[in-house]
């Protein structure tokens, strides 16, 4: 569109964009190297999430200097909005593997169902957020179409929020049961669960912020108005920073250190209380 202009809502900070280009690039390279070195292929959703953040902020910086080019701006918004959903998918897979390792009887639902159920919900959330973002930020001059995109995007955010909160309760229940029944025999999983709680809180903060941002947009005028929609500080403080810290946490406490090599390995308890593996001995990787 000839009259398209990016960043109508505020004057964007080039410095902030460059900082997060660098931050997410470093985290992407670090996660890629750690995953390849450990052959932890289950980390690919988190690697992809970090890559999308890096590309999103690189395109954002490009659009600061090229405000009448629509496609990079749309892709920037779509990638940054969608990225945490891939992060959530990675968390479902990681904690699901931990539950599968400990075995049946400690989770409200079968551990083998965890990843399929929650990743499927996450795929729906990703599609909704991506499609809604594309419509909303696509430069349309029709308020009804922008409102439709906003509504689709909000549905995706709420699917992600509800699924993540439900998964959080499942994990807390699993954590309590295993600590009471197995004690120190599952101590090797403690850092992984702790980083899940920490990163999960940051993802929830970001998702709540985004939901409030889009729900409080005023469609009574064009360009659109809304406090969070019309300021940039919240974009970084409540989205970029929480996600960057959450990604960094998994760089420091890399999951392959705490999970068994194979999904088929299971934790067992001998009569004398010593831990064993039903299939093979657990070899934790020092990454």
- Predicted confidence band of residue 140 (pLDDT cuts 50, 70, 90): low
Q: What angle do CA 75, 60, 79 make, to 5 degrees?
A: 35
- Contact between 128 and 155 under an 8 Å Cβ cutoff? The reply is yes
Q: How confident is the model at residue 141 (pLDDT cuts 50, 70, 90)?
A: low
Give the model's pLDDT for residue 226.
86
- Per-residue confidence at 108, pLDDT binned at 50, 70, 90? confident
| Cα–Cα dist 211/86, whole Å | 17
State the pLDDT confidence band at 187, using cuts at 50, 70 and 90: confident
Classified by CATH at the fold level, domain 14-277 comes out as Rhopdopsin 7-helix transmembrane proteins (1.20.1070)
Is residue 230 pLDDT above 60, yes or no? yes
Q: How confident is the model at residue 102 (pLDDT cuts 50, 70, 90)?
A: confident
Average pLDDT of the residues in 5-26? 93
- pLDDT of residue 263 exceeding 80, the answer is no
Give the DSSP per-residue string, 74-91. Answer: HHHHHHHHHHHHHHHHHH
Confidence of residue 271 (pLDDT cuts 50, 70, 90): very low
Give the Cα separation of 164 and 160 in Å (integer): 6
- pLDDT value, residue 8: 84
Q: How confident is the model at residue 1, as a pLDDT?
A: 44
Predicted local distance difference test score (pLDDT) of residue 11: 92
| DSSP state string for 233-283 | HHHIIIIIHHHHHHHHHHHHT-GGGTS-SSTT--EEE-TTS-EEESSS---
What's the average model confidence in pLDDT over 135-157?
A: 83
**At 219, is the pLDDT very low, low, confident or very high (cuts 50, 70, 90)?**
confident
pLDDT at residue 220 tops 80: no
- Both tokens assigned to 8: 């109508």
Q: Using 50, 70 and 90 to split pLDDT, how confident is the model at 284?
A: very low
Mean pLDDT, the chain, integer: 86
Give the pLDDT score at 277: 44
Q: Where are the alpha helices (DSSP H) in 39-138?
A: 44-65, 70-102, 111-136
Q: How far apart are CA 231 and CA 225, in angstroms?
A: 10
Task: Check pLDDT > 70 for residue 276.
Answer: no
What's the confidence (pLDDT) of residue 269? 52
Q: Where exactly are the structural domains of the chain?
A: 14-277
Task: Indicate the pLDDT class of residue 15, thresholds 50, 70 and 90.
Answer: very high
């Amino acid at each position: 569109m000839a009259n398209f202009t990016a960043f109508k809502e505020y004057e964007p900070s080039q410095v902030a964009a460059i900082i997060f280009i660098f931050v997410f690039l470093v985290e992407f390279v670090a996660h890629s190297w750690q995953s390849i070195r450990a052959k932890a292929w289950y980390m690919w959703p988190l690697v992809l999430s970090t890559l999308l953040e890096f590309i999103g902020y690189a395109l954002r910086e490009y659009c600061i200097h090229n405000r009448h080019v629509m496609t990079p701006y749309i892709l920037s918004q779509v990638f940054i909005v969608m990225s945490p959903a891939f992060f959530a998918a990675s968390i479902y897979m990681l904690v699901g593997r931990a539950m599968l390792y400990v075995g049946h009887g400690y989770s409200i639902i079968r551990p083998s169902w965890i990843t399929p159920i929650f990743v499927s919900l996450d795929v729906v959330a990703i599609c909704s957020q991506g499609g809604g973002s594309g419509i909303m930020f696509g430069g349309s001059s029709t308020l009804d179409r922008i409102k439709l995109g906003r509504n689709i995007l909000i549905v995706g955010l709420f699917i992600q929020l509800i699924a993540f909160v439900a998964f959080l309760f499942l994990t807390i229940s699993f954590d309590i049961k295993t600590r009471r029944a197995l004690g120190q025999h599952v101590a090797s999983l403690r850092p992984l669960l702790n980083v899940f709680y920490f990163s999960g809180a940051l993802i929830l903060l970001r998702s709540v912020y985004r939901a409030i941002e889009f729900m409080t947009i005023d469609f009574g005028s064009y360009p659109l108005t809304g406090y969070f929609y019309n300021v940039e500080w919240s974009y970084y403080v409540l989205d970029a920073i929480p996600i960057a810290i959450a990604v960094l946490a998994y760089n420091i406490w890399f999951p392959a250190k705490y999970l068994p090599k194979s999904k088929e390995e299971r934790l067992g308890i001998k009569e004398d209380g010593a831990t064993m593996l039903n299939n093979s001995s657990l070899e934790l990787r020092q990454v």
